[in-house]
């Protein structure tokens, strides 16, 4: 294996690690927002999940084309504003 192949292999490994880190981080952000929403609504988990689904559907009709994380963020910010 010559130095070019070694450098290429190292670059590929780093690229895969960076890509995996970005993808895994996306899921964590949504999960964190989801947990925060459920904490703010102070309902049982089943009731909170049902309400979250309804509100997400309502927001998707009101603001079409946004990402799931955008809707979650909007809901969490709305609840935080209401509690001030």
Q: What's the pLDDT tens digit per position in 14-72?
A: 787 777 776 665 567 788 899 999 999 999 999 999 999 999 999 999 999 999 999 99
Distance in angstroms (rounded) separating the CA atoms of residues 55 and 38 = 12
Confidence band (pLDDT; 50, 70, 90) for 80? very high
Which phi-psi region, left, alpha or beta, contains residue 67 (left: φ > 0; alpha: ψ -120 to 50)?
Answer: beta
How is residue 10 written in tokens?
Answer: 């190292």
Residue 45's contacts (CB-CB under 8 Å, 6 or more residues apart) are 38
- The pTM is what? 0.65
């Amino acid at each position: 294996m010559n130095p070019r192949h070694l450098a290429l292999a190292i670059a590929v490994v780093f690229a895969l690690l960076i890509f995996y880190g970005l993808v895994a981080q996306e899921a964590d952000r949504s999960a964190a927002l989801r947990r925060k929403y459920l904490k703010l609504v102070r309902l049982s988990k089943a009731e909170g999940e049902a309400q979250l689904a309804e509100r997400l559907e309502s927001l998707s009709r009101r603001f079409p084309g946004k990402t799931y994380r955008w809707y979650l963020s909007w809901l969490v910010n709305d609840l935080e504003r209401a509690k001030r």
